[in-house]
Structure 1
């Protein structure tokens, strides 16, 4: 007499190895590389929500919150509140992220503005070609359309 394990039909369609792994692990399906990527995406979306919650906060050069921000201060603050550490400046943040193509960008990715190789501004991608950012002296944290093609995207890992 042999023991039988019941596996939901959807798992059988996923493949024998997946079904066996799920049965062995008590129904939990593990996909290599998925958990860290999903966790990073969740952190990025939390950071985006933090940035959006700062709408109207005034720009101040060198400020890192919680009431005033410069551009990289807003991204640093937002990701810190979401559980990730970032370096202080836009250029350092650019060097700290995994660069992604515009076609692969997603909400919560960092958007770096540059002139040649010089990174001069950063915001958090909100989807639909818009970012949350703290733009300049006299302005406030706001949602705005990306106004130039001279941008790069970085994913916090």
Structure 2
């Protein structure tokens, strides 16, 4: 089992796509083990996007991610990081394949609806930025036996 962070960005919230996007992850068999609606502060944005803070376009990114509420969530499942990133599609909604979340709902290079951790180290770091250990719930959904083989 692997955990990853997703952020339904302000454009997802404002466009009222939250439920449709969450349903896709549930339909895939991923489990939500933490979720909250919150406002990203400039300080949190700088921590999350630390590698981009010095880039010329960072102020636009910070303004976007702090511009409205987001939904932060932790998903758990087999190869969850890769599965989520494949479901999201290319970073630019203009290049994302139909059938992916960005391919179906985004028509922008920058407003791409959802963030997903890009690797195990990033997932661990990002989850800790948005959630305390007490906010994450360990559980096995009863449907799990019908979603994957017992030895997976």
- Whether these two folds match at TM > 0.5 is no
**Bigger RCO of structures 1 and 2 (CA < 8 A, at least 6 apart):** 2
Q: Which has the higher helix share?
A: 2
TM-score tier (shorter): under 0.3
Q: TM-score, normalised by structure 2?
A: 0.26
Max Rg structure? 1
